[in-house]
């Protein structure tokens, strides 16, 4: 049941801390506090490259995974949505890995890629919530998330659980590829293991998010901006808003704003920024100043330090706990999904069963 919540989506948003915590706990060695994944069906040290694929939200989780695996584990990645990759016929390396991400394990296009790449001799590793699924049976290795059942059509806690597994995979590969030292690994691992507590603090932000939601609910179009590792979180936010509130939203890499979409900006098109104070903060800030100068209404998710710099230009801020840049995409997902939920409430849509959508897309 809904445990007293109005919707499954509301309940599942509250389960983010649990989904992250349980997923990490399953792969944390209790004595060393090291993240330990099952043995890979190949040697990560000599893996030449990997392909990541998925659909929808799971694809955006894969985009975060690409940033991590490339920048931390130094592994070259090809990534595409499954419906495209399926028919692209790209050359595959000897002994490569295909990494599939799916909550249900039944999505037709992702399964289609699994079968195509298996024929190409790629080792199939799947990150799944439903482990006893078709993808689970056909994979060489399943990395399970422990998110629990997700009933709401719009994915929430499965996304942060997927990211938790991807982060653990990144650290494991980085260790085996010899590109990270023990102390760096320990620090990054600790940031991850601290996340359930930080995520629990984020649950207190529903009120602040609701204020922001009132601006969005009036709009016909919304622009989401992020940079680097937070760009896919902007994409996840725009998808979730479209999906459950039926408001048109687009996500852009903040640096792309001046290459076209800036012409859309006026007071009727709110700009939502995912802007933790990481190394790219100043660049995002200057993009937001450009949007503001053209009459844009700026709404931002940031931390205390970012808030000081954004207070002049932003109409509403949601201020998150300080976290390391490595784990910021996981934490920032939560209020971004909360925003879509609060807007849908204001719009009075069918939050758990949005029109035209099914929880599991088993046809092409």
Provide, rounded to whole angstroms, the least separation between the CB of residue 172 and ligand F6R: 22
Stretch that binds ligand F6R, among 29-37, 104-112, 166-174, 260-268 (CB under 6 A): 104-112
Q: Does 55 bind ligand F6R (CB under 6 A)?
A: yes
- Burial-class residue 1 by CB neighbours within 10 Å (0-12, 13-18, 19+): exposed
| Interface residue with ligand F6R, options 78, 243, 303, 342 (CB under 6 A) | 243
> Applying CB under 6 A, does 349 fall inside the site for ligand F6R?
no
Handedness of CA 301, 11, 144, 96 (dihedral sign): negative
Region near ligand F6R per CB under 6 A, out of 21-29, 64-72, 98-106, 253-261: 98-106
Cα–Cα distance, 210 to 340 (Å, whole number): 10
Q: With binding defined as CB under 6 A, does residue 23 bind ligand F6R?
A: no
CB of 247 to ligand F6R, least distance (A): 15
**Calculated CA dihedral for residues 261, 263, 268, 272, nearest 10 degrees:** 30
Is residue 19 within the footprint of ligand F6R (CB under 6 A)? no
302 binds ligand F6R per the rule CB under 6 A: no
Phi, psi of 178 (to 5 degrees): 70, 30
Helix, strand, or coil (residue 172)? helix
126 binds ligand F6R (CB under 6 A): no
Q: Is residue 110 a contact residue for ligand F6R (CB under 6 A)?
A: yes
Per-residue exposure over 62-88, b if at least 16 CB sit within 10 Å of its own CB, e if not: bbbbbbbbeebbebebbbbbbbebbee
Tell me the window of 41-49, 51-59, 212-220, 345-353 that interacts with ligand F6R (CB under 6 A).
51-59
- Whether residue 41 contacts residue 98, with contact meaning beta carbons closer than 8 Å, is answered with no
Residue 305 annotated as catalytic: no
- Kindly state whether residue 57 participates in binding ligand F6R, applying the rule CB under 6 A: yes
> What are the DSSP calls for 81-128, one per residue?
EHHHHHHH-----TT-EEEEEESSS--HHHHHHHHHHHHTT-EEEEEE
Of 225, 247, 153, 163, nearest in space to 199 by CA:
163
Positions 128 through 157 that interact with ligand F6R (CB under 6 A): 154-155
Q: Give the other-Cβ count within 10 Å of 28's Cβ.
A: 18
Work out how close the CB of 14 gets to ligand F6R at its nearest, in angstroms, rounded to a whole number: 17
Q: In terms of CB distance, is 55 or 79 closer to ligand F6R?
A: 55
Query: Does position 56 bind ligand F6R by CB under 6 A?
Result: yes
337 makes contact with ligand F6R (CB under 6 A): no
- Asked whether the beta carbons of 240 and 67 are under 8 A apart, the reply is no
The catalytic residues are 359
> Where does this chain bind ligand F6R (CB under 6 A)?
55-58, 102-104, 107, 110, 154-155, 239-240, 243, 360-361
């Amino acid at each position: 049941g809904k445990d007293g919540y109005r919707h499954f989506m509301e309940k599942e948003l509250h389960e983010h801390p649990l989904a992250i915590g349980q997923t990490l706990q399953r792969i944390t060695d209790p004595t060393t506090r090291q993240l330990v994944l099952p043995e890979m069906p190949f040697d990560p040290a000599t893996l030449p490259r990997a392909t990541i694929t998925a659909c929808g939200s799971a694809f955006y989780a894969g985009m975060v995974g690409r940033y991590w695996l490339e920048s931390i584990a130094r592994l070259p990645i090809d990534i595409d949505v499954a419906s495209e990759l399926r028919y692209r016929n790209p050359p595959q390396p000897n002994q490569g890995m295909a990494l599939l991400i799916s909550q249900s394990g039944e999505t037709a296009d992702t399964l289609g890629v699994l079968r195509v790449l298996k024929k190409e001799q790629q080792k199939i590793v799947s990150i799944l919530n439903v482990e006893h699924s078709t993808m689970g049976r056909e994979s060489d290795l399943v990395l399970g998330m422990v998110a629990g059942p997700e009933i709401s059509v719009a994915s929430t806690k499965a996304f942060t659980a997927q990211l938790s597994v991807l982060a653990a995979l990144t650290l494991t590969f980085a260790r085996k590829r010899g590109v990270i030292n023990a102390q760096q690994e320990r620090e990054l691992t600790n940031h991850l293991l601290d996340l359930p507590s930080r995520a629990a603090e984020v649950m207190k932000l529903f009120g602040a998010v609701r204020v922001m939601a009132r601006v969005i609910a009036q709009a016909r179009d919304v622009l989401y901006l992020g940079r680097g590792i937070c760009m896919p979180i902007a994409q996840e936010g725009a998808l979730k808003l479209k999906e459950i509130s039926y408001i048109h939203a687009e996500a852009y890499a903040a640096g792309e704003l001046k290459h076209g979409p800036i012409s859309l900006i006026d007071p009727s098109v709110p700009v939502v920024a995912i802007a933790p104070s990481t190394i790219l903060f100043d660049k995002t800030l200057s993009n937001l100043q450009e949007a503001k100068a053209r009459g844009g209404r700026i709404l931002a998710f940031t931390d205390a330090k970012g808030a000081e710099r954004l207070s002049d230009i932003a109409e509403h801020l949601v201020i998150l706990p300080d976290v390391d840049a490595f784990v910021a995409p996981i934490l920032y997902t939560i209020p971004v999904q909360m925003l879509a939920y609060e807007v849908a409430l204001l719009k009075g849509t069918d939050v758990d069963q949005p029109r035209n959508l099914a929880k599991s897309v088993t046809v092409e």
